[in-house]
Chain A
Amino acid sequence: MLSYILFIATIGGIYGLLALSLNLIWGGVGMVNLGLAGFFAVGAYASALLTTVGHGPIAAGWLIALVAGGVAGLVVTLSTTRLREDYLAIVTLGFAETVRLVASNEIWLTRGTDGISGIPGPWKRALGPDFNAVYFLIVVLALLVVFFVMRRIDRSPYGRALRAIREDAQVAQVAGKPVLRFKTEAFVLSAAIAGLAGALYGHFTSYIAPDMFLPLITVYIFLAVASGGTGRPAGALVGAYLVMTLLESSRFFVEWIPGVTAVQRAALKELLIAVALIVVLRLKPSGVLPERVPPAPRPS
């Protein structure tokens, strides 16, 4: 049981990183990214390829995942930051699907639908059964670093500028804020974090494949950010663990429903998660930890 909880806590931490990534742009600038799974995949593949085919060190893999995620974010935003949010939603959804198609079909690079197995984990052989515990600490460390960077941004003048853009981009523009640049920067940073999450995932489970990066994972992260509270890093983190708890406990819950077939049980489980998202959005739109907007410093 303990190793199960440790495992789920680690995956929950990786979801937490994704939630922080989404929170930065959704909560921060009011942009939407339905292609989160795509950036997650880009990071996972970049790191996996560097450390397996390229025999590079794992730390370098994590670094390259950050960079690759960021570059992918830049490519997507260059043509889309000028678009309205609803267009961006659809374009990013298409981006994630395209990433998955490339990963499935460019076998020379990604090994196709076979996926990449044998991705090394840090000190995995030496640690033996303690690997999961150590890796959990690594994820927590990454989470803390990203979390404090996010909070720093959240409370800085930069964060206030981002929020101003979210509330009214035109007013921010008139006030002299370079809206386009701010939006691009936030999106690139967010994509980089999603890329890092992908790398952390790959080195933990030792295997990645295109099927992992389906849009459903993006839905889970939206549920996490919505339920935790948009616009506050701590909310995103709490939300990620709430979602993970819901995902895993629903397994045990549906086992007790009598008189249904295995498929119906699986359908009920997905239904439950979708209903939860709507209930949260309807009843607690500000999430468990609502946004706190610190007052702007008064000019002295």
Chain B
Amino acid sequence: MTNIRIGRRAALAAGVAALASPAVVRAQADPIKLATLTPLTGAGGPYGPVMAKAAASVVEEVNKAGGVLGRRIVLVSEDDQTNPEAAVRAARKLIDVDKVAAIMGTWASSVTTAVAPLCWESKTFLCTVSGADSITLLPHQGFLIRTQPNSKLQVTRVGEFILSLGAKKAFTMIPQTPFTQSTFDILNQVLPKGGCAHQSLIYDDKKTTYRTEVDQALRTSPDVILANGYTPDTVVLLKDLYRAGFKGKILGFAYSINQKLVDQVGQPEVVEGVYNFAPASAEGSSAFEKAKAASGSANPDPYTCQVYDHINLVLMAIASAKAATGEAIKENIRKATMSGGKVVDNAVDGLKEIAAGGKVDYAGASGPCDFDEKGDILDCKFRYEQIKAGKFTLVKIA
């Protein structure tokens, strides 16, 4: 560190000027910097842009309401290219040049694993939507939270749901991802216990047709198929399942089976009766509605909901800490959501409450957002929906 000597009189003058200038100007002069690092190109491209948009509109709302601690929020958006090599360079720039206090929205597990060491070494807070179980086991010293349920929680619930549909033979079709193996392992445990046989295959998510894969699955005459890919490949898979005349039940994650998928398939019969599920808050939670508005989408996917939660949580943590550093966010993030205080569904209301000296308990769009010490979400509820005549209808929240 170099010390620069400033004349005593100059320093005093600067201090007086700072005090005398109106709050707005001070807020302009010293904004709080935060960042989203989402996939805008590459395989995650269908998801990242809406995620970045949702976070940006929350920041806009908060700035309109006067910012946090009297300071304006500046949200920098970088592209991780769904590629850890590019993501590491982008994160370095965010940390060292923009000096952001938190990075939000990393999507691919490989990107999160690559970026995480940079974050904990520089004491920058990281919020991720990646699903790989290994992520929260990294030595992140508390500088990481994950809003996506880990596969143990998520897949166990999926298995229970498959059993509740009365399945006797289930089949999983999934591309190669960090949670492919754990999905198989967990389903192979949960399903046989409920009297349901389970088989599976891994497919290439770049193929333009899945006819042979569908033939292979249907040879085992399953009554339930778990379509466990992302939107682009699941569209093709569902069309090919329909063509093959599959009459059983189909279910998948809401990040792939969503309104975009329904629009793209274009023909309601093809997706009629398909189930999806997503982590969710208790029934009647209003945050999901807020996330709809923020993302400008009638049916925001779970990643968008999660980023909506990231930014709200981070802003309220900064307010509780009265400091905008990664360290402060780390110490206070759980206070914004697990304090037993007033239940809020957005940062603007939460910030008012905190400024008034109260406690807040954030109930988010993707769930209650309560975290264990590893940064994983504690048990959460899931929203199960079914497509009827091209629309998603709620089956249950449990």
Contacts and interface: CB of A to CB of B under 8 A. Distances in A.
Query: Do the two chains touch directly in the complex (Cβ atoms below 8 Å apart)?
Result: yes
Interface of A: 1-4, 7-8, 11, 104-105, 107, 112-115, 117, 201, 205-212, 214, 216-217, 247-248, 251, 255, 261-263, 265-267, 269-270
B176 to A, nearest CB: 5
B48 to A, nearest CB: 8
Nearest to A251: B93
A107 B202 CA distance: 13
Given A117-B138, A266-B79, A209 B113 contact: yes
Interface stretch (B8-16, B83-91, B239-247, B312-320): B83-91
Contacts of B97: 1, 4
Interface string B316-355: 0000000000000000000000000000000000000000
A112 B85 contact: no
Given A209-B114, A248-B93, A261-B49, A113 B109 contact: yes
Contacts of B111: 211
B82 to A, nearest CB: 7
B200 interface: no
Contacts of B79: 262, 265-266, 269
Contacts of A262: 38, 40, 48-49, 52-53, 77, 79
B41 A112 contact: no
Contacts, number: 108
Contacts of B90: 251
Contacts of A248: 89, 93
A126 B78 CA distance: 32
Contacts of B31: none
Size category of the binding interface on chain B: 35 or more
Nearest to A208: B84
Interface string B23-47: 0000000000000001011100100
Interface string B89-102: 11011011100000
Residue picked from A3, A207, A247, most chain B C-beta under 10 Å: A207
A105 B110 CA distance: 15
Q: Across chains A and B, which 9 residue pairs bring their CB atoms closest together, nearest first?
A: A4-B96, A209-B110, A266-B40, A266-B79, A263-B49, A212-B85, A114-B178, A262-B52, A211-B110
B365 interface: no
Contact of B89 (A210, A216, A247, A270): A247
A113 B88 contact: no
B132 interface: yes
Contacts of A269: 79
Interface in B145-198: 176-178, 180-181
A112 B96 contact: no
A155 B134 CA distance: 50
A88 B89 CA distance: 31
A218 B86 CA distance: 13
Given A107-B181, A267-B41, A269-B79, A4 B108 contact: no
Contacts of B76: 255
Contacts of A208: 84
Given A112-B176, A207-B114, A262-B40, A216 B83 contact: yes
A206 B53 CA distance: 31
B110 A212 contact: yes
Given A114-B132, A262-B40, A207 B93 contact: no
B176 A205 contact: no
B117 interface: yes
A4 B92 contact: yes
A217 B96 contact: no
Given A3-B96, A4-B92, A251-B93, A207 B85 contact: no
A107 to B, nearest CB: 6
